[in-house]
Amino acid sequence: MSTETELVHRVELGEGVTASVSGRVLTVKGPLGSVKKRFDRIHVNMEVKDGKVEILPFSDRKKDVVSSNTMSSIVRNMVIGVTQGYTYKLKVVFAHFPVTVKVKGKQVNVENFVGERSARVTDIIGDCKVAVEGDDIIIKGVSLEDVGQTSANLEQATKIKRKDQRIFLDGIYVYEKKKGW
């Protein structure tokens, strides 16, 4: 049996970062913005004490301890997001038909993809900022999950089906992931 102090995970909030817990919702605020995350399905207790988020599993079962490890990683990513931010860079690749990418409100339109007449449309998740610079698409945000999901939506929207993937390389692909703007 482990003692309770061995099971507690503590995540430092850092300078200029505050956190609050309301029920099963953790909100982290920092200089770049705020991130809110619900932890309904993770069996842990959370508290904010002395500039740290303390995470204690419900029991010392392996499943609960592993869940607390996962949650401490998520909280660490939230703290990095509100202090540094996340940036994903994607490359628009085409062989014959020139592809045009436009941002309209909370959607990204990919026009003339493989010569199609209708645009392929994806949603921008959360508060991400999407910018198009030539053949590059730059996605920035404070939530790693939102930035990652927005880039994954773009990759999936331009996936070519029923053709050989080795020959038809057209699409939008992630080529750089980094912390910071």
Calculate the CA 141 to chain-centre distance: 8
Q: How far is 161 from 56, CA to CA, in rounded Å? A: 46
Residue pLDDT, tens place only, 90-134 = 999 999 899 999 999 999 999 999 999 999 999 999 999 999 999
- In this predicted model, what pLDDT tens digit does every residue of 157-173 receive, in sequence order? 999 989 888 888 999 99
Q: How many C-beta neighbours within 10 Å does residue 113 have?
A: 22
Task: Match domain 86-179 to its CATH number in 2.60.40.10, 3.90.930.12, 1.20.1050.10, 3.10.129.10.
Answer: 3.90.930.12
Where are the chain's structural domains?
4-83, 86-179
* Residue 149, token pair as written in the block: 């999901």
Give the whole-angstrom CA distance, residue 130 versus residue 24.
30
Class of domain 4-83: alpha beta
Q: Could you give the percent of the chain with pLDDT greater than 70? A: 97
On whether the CB atoms of residues 114 and 122 are closer than 8 A, the answer is no
Q: For residue 5, what pLDDT band results from cuts at 50, 70 and 90?
A: low
pLDDT digits (tens, 9 = 90+) for 125-146: 999 999 999 999 999 999 999 9
Mean pLDDT over the full length of the chain: 93
pLDDT greater at residue 5 or residue 61:
61
Assess whether the region 4-83 and the region 86-179 belong to the same CATH fold: yes
Q: What is the per-residue pLDDT across 17-73, written as a single tens digit (0 to 9) for each? A: 999 999 899 999 999 999 999 998 888 899 999 999 999 998 888 888 888 899 999
